[in-house]
Amino acid sequence: MRFMFKTDYEDDIKLFPHGGYIVTYGVLLAFLVVAPFILSSYLVSQLVFVFIYATVGVGLMILTGFTGQASLGHAAFLAIGAYTAAYLQQYNVPFPVYFLAAGLLTGVVGAMVGFPALRLQGIYLVIATISFAFIIEEILARWESVTHGNEGMRVKALQFLGTAVSRDSPSFYFLCLAVLTLTIVGTLNLLRSPTGRAFVAIRDSETAARSMGVNVSLYKVKSFAISAAITGFAGVLFAHKLSFISPEMFTLQLSIEFIIVILIGGAFSPHGAVLGAIFIVMIDPFLTYLKDDVPGMIAAVAATFGAGAATAAKIQANVAAFASANGLKGAIYGIIIVLFVLFEPLGLYGRWLKIKLFFQLFPLYKRATFKRQKIYVKSERNR
Amino acid sequence: MLDFVQQLVSGIALGCVYGLIALGFVLVYKATEVVNFAQGDLMMLGGFFAFTFIGILGLNYWIGFAGAVVAMALFGMLAERVVVRPILGYPQFSIIMATIGLGYFLRSIAGIIWGTDDLKIETPFSQGVLRIGSLVLAYDKLSVIAATVILCAMLYLFFNRTTLGTAMRASSENMLAAYYMGIPVKRVVSIVWAISAAVATAAGVLLAPITFIHSNVGLVLGLKAFPAAVLGGFGSIPGAVVGGVLIGVIESMAGFYLPQGWKDVAPYVVLLMVLLLKPEGLFGHHARKKV
Amino acid sequence: MSYFRAENLSLHFGGLKAVDAVSFAVEKGEILSIIGPNGAGKSSIFNLVSRIYNPTSGRIFFEDQDITEEPAFGIAKLGIARTFQNIELFENATLLSNLLVGRHRHSTTQLWQELLFLPSVKANEKIHRRRVEQVIEFLDLEPYRDKLISGLPYGVRKVIELARALCTEPKLILLDEPSSGLNVEETDDMSFWIRDLKTELGITVLMVEHDMTLVNRVSDRVIALNYGKVLAMGSPAEVQRHPDVVAAYLGA
């Protein structure tokens, strides 16, 4: 166990409490910098998606994890960012301009959603955000003069300083990495400042926050705006990465995926957003693997245990049929969500912290350290 | 004028289905403060059970209907035991996520078992119309309305007049206190889930002639039933049905009188407006924490 | 004029008159206690003063400024802090961050500065932390500095409530039953701290309390309430001898 001797207030403020962190994150960053040159283009492409999802995850975390305002409408913010980019790009607006414009516009829309949300709590807020996302989706499908409706929009490769940056190039990879890194650093900065603490205060008790001088309405709107703006920035990258956008990409399903990102990763630290993003992005390759390789492997195992060739082939066919069933992804999502809510509400990062603490305190670790409080009384659930 | 009445009736019929699903939301919410996002999917599963009994096994419609209701009631209890009971008392959002997960799972499993085609159940109401003057009303729609009225009345009486209903209301206010007063809270919650799954099944079977059954029907209709429950105040049984009918009528009128595209968003626009003006819904109570 | 003044304050819930035309004044630097049986309207008065409830009628003045229309967060910015009877801490945050929220009214940094964590933000943070550490030392909370609130015992939380209110550097502090749920030793500590608030920090205290020992020990003046009305006002001894107060408590 490491003992920290704090001699200055700065020791509590620093992003990296001790040298070990700098080494760990330095190595990680160094790996990510060389990654596009040593990994296959497929993996690099997946990493780009991880960065984009993680950016959205961090944005959503600010709203849901820290301010305690649930949102099932973040796909709409992503859509607004993506469509702003696609629309402005047609008029040869330079990339930095439309990138900022997309974030700004999404932030403004987020604030506009935030105002009505002030009066709503819990389930009502969830439903309001779902409704908002539906309405945006329908607007995108119907406002054909701007969005080309259900035909969707092509997004050209982004132009920067006169050169085209292809969506598979290392430059684009670094752009996404930079956006994610800046988002995370900005979020961490916010969390060690009065604004971030005000968010957390609102999450835990609005009444107490108010009587400590926190303008709850203002900070809720701020939280919505920041969260939406970050998602809008991610939307620009999303549009460029996919090079084509249409309304049916930005459905409730996508909003739920974003929630899954922070649910599985852990909603209280940017680490969680990154872990959750890795999970969500890897599920498709995993399913492909399940479809293509696993049936053969199982058949081979069966064969070594003395199953005849015919039986082995039959097993292979059955497993393959199951693995390629249409709704399998949904079933996996469903099971994973339920398992995480039931057994690891703090997400993967929470599990990691528990394991770390277990070894630090060994053999004194108490199981109850991370126990959640249950509330059985209706009136106590109001904040 | 005739068009209007025709639209009104089909809107009310559709709204009754929303109302029935919303009833399921409200029942579970009233007893446990849990919002079950998988309610629509329970309805879908109920429809598939009924299809299996009636369409595949060839049972009589009513026997198949009853069989599906009983089977789904048991399934509702199972779902409650496995997914919801361990996390009762945790933040609402955890439970919402758990039921979203349950919904995903049910949709996917239903798709794998029953395939992705649209299925149809033959019912006594599938054909035939009631003619009043030049007004033509299909039996399938009227049967939905009649069933909704009956179910709603039964549930209302059950909640307000029976001991079990009182026990349910008590455990929603304060689970611990109810438990200490000798109310078997776990069993009560279990029963509530059974009832709400049974109501959902009834909705699913009644719906079968109007829309077909497929694995996503629950998601689509469930998301419409939400505004219904919210309009009704999320805790009121008559409110749920009134909310459902409102949403149904709005949707049907918007589809008829407004440009294309409005049909699907109109319920949500209305919902957002109601939430803005009266955040606790039309029939809800505003709760605030005492400090 | 008085430092803090409530004039004809009323709060009606339908037909129930929780607070009925109550007037009182607090002088600068004194400790004023409000006593009364359960349901007498004590906490309601606090919720009116801290603007969680809107009064049905009446006005509230602080430092000769009408604060009846001030929003709840504005009250804190004027220098009125409060604690809560049933503990309203930020459960999933550490003690340190709880107290730092108390510093909120003194933060002057803008959002964009915080996103970049400019030196000005850092300088402000250091000032906040220094003040918070002083409060932690004042109330002997050092052992719990980095602990999550959700894991701390009730008695400690009660002290943290006081600490958080002190971090706002209030001119007037409202203590809602500071000793409820505390054992004898903890109540003793609390009474010393309350005296210290007045003598060392010069804070004016308005307190709701049931424990008459504590009230007698710390209060300069006492107001007795029943059914939302003022029964008696004066020194602790006077109020306790007042026939209406005796009747209210003994039900005679």
- pLDDT of res. A215: 93
**Cα–Cα dist A55/A60, whole Å:** 9
Q: What ipTM, to 2 d.p.?
A: 0.91
Mean pLDDT (chain C, rounded): 90
Strand runs (DSSP E) across A50-121, as ranges?
none
**Cα–Cα dist C129/C146, whole Å:** 13
End-to-end C-alpha distance for chain C, whole angstroms: 38
**Cα–Cα dist B106/B215, whole Å:** 8
Question: Is B7 in a helix, a strand, or coil?
Answer: helix
In angstroms, the separation between the Cα of residue A107 and the nearest Cα of chain C is: 14
pLDDT category at C167 given cuts 50, 70, 90 is: very high
Q: What percent of chain C has pLDDT over 90?
A: 56
- pLDDT of res. A274: 93
Partners of C223 in the beta sheet? C34, C233
pLDDT category at B9 given cuts 50, 70, 90 is: confident
What residues in chain C have their Cβ under 8 A from chain B's Cβ atoms?
Answer: 43, 47, 52, 84-86, 88
Among C48, C51, C52, which would you mutate to test the B interface (most chain B Cβ atoms within 10 Å of its Cβ)? C52
Q: Are B237 and B159 in contact (CB under 8 A)?
A: yes
In angstroms, the separation between the Cα of residue C128 and the nearest Cα of chain A is: 10
| CB < 8 Å from B in window 211-270 of A | 252, 256, 259, 263
A328 touches chain B (CB under 8 A): yes
Gyration radius of chain C's alpha carbons: 19
Chain centroid to CA B71: how far? 17
Residues of B in contact with A379 (CB under 8 A): 287, 289-290
The minimal CB distance from C93 to the residues A204, A222, A373 is found for A204
Instruction: Please give the residue that has the higher pLDDT: either B20 or A76.
Output: A76
A212 touches chain C (CB under 8 A): yes
Q: Are B196 and B248 in contact (CB under 8 A)?
A: no
A23 touches chain B (CB under 8 A): no
Amino acid at residue number C150: S
Which of A220-224, B46-50, C247-251 has the highest average model confidence (pLDDT)?
A: A220-224
Contacts of A300 by beta carbon, 8 Å cutoff, 6+ apart: A312
Chain centroid to CA A343: how far? 21
- Does pLDDT of C102 surpass 80? yes
- pLDDT of res. A372: 67
Number of C-beta neighbours around residue A353 at 10 A? 18
Mean pLDDT (chain B, rounded): 84
In angstroms, the separation between the Cα of residue B291 and the nearest Cα of chain C is: 7
Cβ separation C126–A373 shorter than 8 A: no
Q: Are A272 and A352 in contact (CB under 8 A)?
A: no
- Does pLDDT of B215 surpass 70? yes
C213-239 mean pLDDT: 91
Strand runs (DSSP E) across chain C, as ranges?
4-13, 16-26, 31-35, 57-62, 65-66, 80-82, 172-176, 204-208, 221-226, 229-234
- pLDDT of res. B126: 66
In angstroms, the separation between the Cα of residue A190 and the nearest Cα of chain C is: 5
Which of the other chains make 3 or more beta carbon contacts under 8 angstroms with chain B?
A: A, C
Q: Are A277 and A349 in contact (CB under 8 A)?
A: no
pLDDT category at B62 given cuts 50, 70, 90 is: confident
- pLDDT of res. A239: 95
- pLDDT of res. B117: 78
Q: Pairing relation of β-strands C172-176 and C204-208?
A: parallel
Amino acid at residue number A264: I
A366 touches chain C (CB under 8 A): no
In angstroms, the separation between the Cα of residue A150 and the nearest Cα of chain B is: 12
Contacts of A263 by beta carbon, 8 Å cutoff, 6+ apart: A276, A337, A340, A341, A347, B97
- DSSP output for C5-59: EEEEEEEEETTEEEEEEEEEEE-TT-EEEEE-STTSSHHHHHHHHTTSS--SEEE
Amino acid at residue number A322: F
**Cα–Cα dist A46/A43, whole Å:** 5
B277 touches chain C (CB under 8 A): no
- pLDDT of res. A369: 66
- pLDDT of res. A326: 65
In angstroms, the separation between the Cα of residue A64 and the nearest Cα of chain C is: 14
**Cα–Cα dist B247/B243, whole Å:** 6
- pLDDT of res. B231: 84
The minimal CB distance from C111 to the residues A195, A212, A216 is found for A195
B181 touches chain A (CB under 8 A): no
Taking CB atoms within 8 Å and a gap of at least 24, the contacts of A322-327 are: A322/B112, A323/A287, A323/A290, A323/A291, A323/A294, A323/A295, A324/A291, A325/B111, A325/B112, A326/B111, A326/B112, A326/B116, A327/B107, A327/B108, A327/B109, A327/B110, A327/B111, A327/B112, A327/B215
Cβ separation A376–B88 shorter than 8 A: yes
Residues of B in contact with A344 (CB under 8 A): none
In angstroms, the separation between the Cα of residue B227 and the nearest Cα of chain A is: 8
C74-90 mean pLDDT: 90
**B162-178 pLDDT tens trace:** 888 888 888 877 888 88
- Does pLDDT of C252 surpass 70? no
Cβ separation A330–B104 shorter than 8 A: yes
> Residue A325 gets which letter from DSSP?
-
Among the residue ranges A363-367, C9-13, C56-60, the one predicted with the least confidence is A363-367
Amino acid at residue number B236: S
- Does pLDDT of C32 surpass 90? yes
**Cα–Cα dist B59/B121, whole Å:** 12
The minimal CB distance from A377 to the residues B104, B174, B281 is found for B174
Amino acid at residue number B288: R
A166 touches chain C (CB under 8 A): no
**A170-215 pLDDT tens trace:** 889 999 999 999 999 999 999 999 999 999 999 988 889 999 999 9
A330 touches chain B (CB under 8 A): yes
CA dihedral (C99, C103, C104, C107) positive or negative: negative
Residues of B in contact with C86 (CB under 8 A): 290-291
- pLDDT of res. B41: 92
- pLDDT of res. C30: 93
**A29-73 pLDDT tens trace:** 999 999 999 989 899 999 999 999 999 999 999 999 999 898 999
Cβ separation B223–A130 shorter than 8 A: yes
Which of the other chains make 3 or more beta carbon contacts under 8 angstroms with chain A?
A: B, C
Contacts of A41 by beta carbon, 8 Å cutoff, 6+ apart: A168
- pLDDT of res. A255: 94
Contacts of A317 by beta carbon, 8 Å cutoff, 6+ apart: A295
Q: Which of B5, B42, B48, B8 is nearest to B22 (CA)?
A: B42
Which residues of chain A fall below pLDDT 70? 1-4, 323-326, 367-373, 377-383
**Cα–Cα dist B235/B172, whole Å:** 11
CA dihedral (A19, A22, A26, A28) positive or negative: positive
